[in-house]
Amino acid sequence: MSLIERYGMARLGAPSDLWHRTRRALRQHWPYYLMVLPVVAYFVLFLFWPTLQGLIISFQKWGLMGPQGWVGFENYEKVFSDRTVLRALRNTLVISAGITVLGVFLPILPALALIEITPQKARQGFQTVIYAPYLMSWVIIVGLWLNTLSPIGLVNSALLGLGVIDQPIPFLTSRLWGQPLVIGLTTWKDIGFLALIYYAALMSLDQEILDAASLDGAGPSAKIRHIILPHLAPVMRVVFFLTLLGSLRTFDSALLLMNGRTADTVRTLAVFTYERGILRFDLGFASAAGVLLLGISLAFLALSRLLPGVRGGIG
Amino acid sequence: MLGSRAFTGLSWAFLIALSLTMVIPVLGVFATAFSSKLASMQPGVRLWPDEPSLEGFATLFRRFQFWRPFLNTAYVVVVGTVLHVALCALAGYALAQEDLPGRNIFAGIILVTLTIPTQTIMVPLFVVFRDLGLLNTLFSLIVAELVSAFSILLLKSYFEQIPKEILESARLDGAGPLTLFWRIAVPLARPGLITITAFNVVWKYNIFVEALIFINDPDKVTLQVALQSVVGGEGSTSTNDIITPNVMMAGVVVALVPLLLFFAPLQRFLTRGTMMGAVK
């Protein structure tokens, strides 16, 4: 058989072989495929298709009734020259950096503290209390802190009473406090959740290693630095991904803390997309901003996969 | 663990301080909510109601008809969670079959979904929902997050822990795939199913962005959006009609209490789910 013939056979053979295998698999396992089908269909219809459509819309001009034709890169040119978008991009990156740094390191403290205390009941009690805000909606969280941080609220009243300040601090209505508040409240909301991840990792640490270190004369700080932190390193990577990808899509917190005074500093790209696309119905422009945000997320994901020692962050 | 008494003392102090940042704001909200209208407008460190009264709650239910968002949210929570858990359990079970050809392709598709944040596709999602006639329906909130990679993967790992022999012997007795799933796998994966159910009830209860985007019919307003309009003071029509702090915080209390009541008994499943999801 000549090479060409063999190559031809192989080429003809491959698809029909695949076809046969698929048919056999379907005949044998069809109930299982039927079980996955709704999920796959859902993702195609409500995730992959909208993503593709977002890309398409970003190259179009849209009116109230639908697309009004292609405009090339016009929307993107607008995105990169619009002051509000660039400001939102900067806010997103600053807020995301803050949330990620604090989110990776701070929750280690309660995790370590939880491991240190006995009895078990006390551990569970603290776990429950610090985990609770993670389950609260952002509307409730902002309500809680609105009451606490308002000019007549607890914090300002206490500070005034102690003579630390002589004017209430306008935490919720100042340019200065906008970003720290978004970052701080996010960190506070998630700290119990992230601490639990670190706590689970610490539970798998062998106590004997720590005991052996004690015999060698290692103090608490040496143990933390040389045993505990290295043990937590892989989990820190996971938390890094979780908080980075989560914080890039900051929406609820920013939207709810946004007002006339804070808009310029807390408006994130996600919030901008909502305002421009849903409220003002400028779909082309908003989609381009959405694609930009998606691009940034994917770029960070790809970039972090290139880092040595980092394999798949999520999942 | 570290064997240092000073460190243990520090740990207690830190955990108590951190817990207080959670407990004090909640106490403060209750105190304001149960204070009278005038007392709630006075500055001060308030951890107990001043001039205890139910004015705030009365105003909340009279002026904002706060029961309607509750009914709407209850519908979304119940129907949405049942469908979510059912669909994710079926998919998780199928993907737990080690001999299923193409299993990796499906697992890959599900992993890819984790890389696309919904917030970036808000606009096209709005267009898709509009084209499907889902706008302004409570059903749109059930469709949003109808399935999620997190739930599928968590349930898959629960199904994988079921000993193969149990499933195999039932198969030899003539049980079909659906019987195996329903009679054997589901009862054995119960902790996982409870975890996913608990998480979903919370997520659906908290649904906000989607409700903001897909619904603007006042009859179909859900809890978080209604609460936002109270807390954000959007209901006030004139300056002598401002929404006072006691009304706002009554709203927060009314939304917070069901969540806390739900959280107490299911806390174990939620925290375990978090730890399992992380270790995966």
Q: What is the number of domains present in chain B?
A: 2
Residues B225 and B110 in one domain: yes
- Mean pLDDT taken over chain A: 88
Q: What is the reported pLDDT for A313?
A: 39
Q: Using CA coordinates, name the residue in chain B closest to A123.
A: B15
Higher pLDDT, B48 or A140: A140
Cβ-contact A248, A297 below 8 angstroms: yes
pLDDT of A315 = 33
Which helix H or strand E contains A67, and what residues bound it?
Answer: strand A67-70
Q: Does B261 touch chain A (CB under 8 A)?
A: no
Kindly identify which residue of chain A lies nearest to residue B253, measuring between CA atoms: A140
Give yes or no for A259 touching B (CB within 8 A): no
Residues B145, B255: one domain? yes
* Ranges of residues in chain B whose predicted pLDDT is under 50: 280
Residue A221 reports pLDDT greater than 90:
no
* B107 in reach of chain A (CB within 8 A): no
| Torsion of Cα atoms, A244 then A248 then A251 then A253, to 10° | 40
Q: Is B163 on the interface with A (CB under 8 A)?
A: no
Q: Which residues of A touch B114 (CB under 8 A)?
A: 314-315
Do B48 and B114 fall within a single domain?
no
Angstrom distances, CA of residue B41 to CA of A168, B113, B229, B249 = 15, 47, 19, 12
Same structural domain for residues B81 and B5?
A: no
* A290 vs B93, B123, B213: nearest CB: B123
User: Do B17 and B129 reside in the same domain of the chain?
Assistant: no
Confidence of residue A314 (pLDDT cuts 50, 70, 90): very low
B204 and B121 fall within a common domain: yes
CATH code, B238: 1.10.3720.10
Q: What is the three-class DSSP state of A69?
A: strand
Residues B11 and B110 in one domain: no
DSSP 8-class letter at A66: S
Q: Is A146's pLDDT higher than 50?
A: yes
Tokens matching residue B56: 């705030």
Q: What is the pLDDT at residue A209?
A: 84
pLDDT tens by residue, A35-77: 999 999 999 999 999 999 999 999 998 877 778 889 989 999 9
CA gyration radius, chain A: 26
- Closest Cα in chain B, distance from residue A9 (Å): 25
* CB nearest A210 (choices: B2, B19, B178): B2
- Put simply, the answer to whether A38 touches B45 (Cβ < 8 Å) is no
Residue B160 and residue B147 share a domain: yes
Q: Which helix (H) or strand (E) holds A62?
A: strand A60-62
**Domain shared by B32 and B68, yes or no:** no
Q: Is B251 on the interface with A (CB under 8 A)?
A: yes
Range 281-300 of A in CB contact (< 8 A) with B:
283, 286-287, 290-291, 293-294, 297-298
Do B24 and B88 have their domain in common?
no
pLDDT in tens, B235-249: 555 555 678 899 999
Q: Is the peptide bond before A119 cis (omega within 30 degrees of 0)?
A: yes
Instruction: Given CATH 1.10.3720.10, say whether it is the number of domain A82-306.
Output: yes
For residues B130 and B140, the answer to whether their CB atoms sit within 8 Å is no
B22 in contact with A, Cβ within 8 Å:
yes
Q: Are residues B125 and B26 in the same domain?
A: no
Per the structure, the complete domain to which residue B181 belongs is given by: 54-279
Digit-coded pLDDT (tens) for A117-139: 988 899 999 999 999 999 999 99
The reply to whether B217 and B119 lie within a common domain is yes
User: What residues are paired with A70 via a beta bridge?
Assistant: A60
The confidence score (pLDDT) of residue A1 equals: 45
